[in-house]
Amino acid sequence: MGFPTANIDAPKEMEDGLYVGLANAKPSLIFVGIAQTFGETKRFAEVYILDFTGDLYDQEIEVEIIRKLRENMKFDSESELVEQMKADELLAREFFTSYNLSN
């Protein structure tokens, strides 16, 4: 869908939703929950590191949550989800810019 992510186990103590945070000290979006749009039933977490290029397979990453952006949502289609993800990314970039945490 154009947003490469690192999939990790979801922390049990976290509420489901979308968060801004840092992954390996880089600005990131972190989704925690069940991917309802695709009929998933397993809870997980996905980390999208803004502007990251490279390979994270079989590597450990350190994730720090800063702030919750929104609740988990179910979308009627993949295209609606992608549009929301683009809006979420813009919000995250604004957040990091305003706090001088951009790459």
- The answer for residues whose C-beta is within 8 angstroms of residue 67's C-beta and 6 or more apart is 19, 20, 21, 95
pLDDT higher than 90, residue 1: no
- Domains, the chain, ranges and CATH? 6-98 (2.40.30.30)
User: Using an 8 Å Cβ cutoff, are 28 and 22 in contact?
Assistant: yes
Rounded mean pLDDT, 47-66? 90
Quote the pTM value. 0.88
pLDDT higher than 90, residue 5: no
Where is pLDDT greater, at 48 or 40? 48
pLDDT higher than 70, residue 2: no
Where is pLDDT greater, at 21 or 5? 21
Tokens of 98: 């305003």
Q: Where are the alpha helices (DSSP H) in the chain?
A: 78-98
Q: How far is CA 95 from CA 8, 21, 42, 68, 80, in A?
A: 24, 10, 29, 11, 23
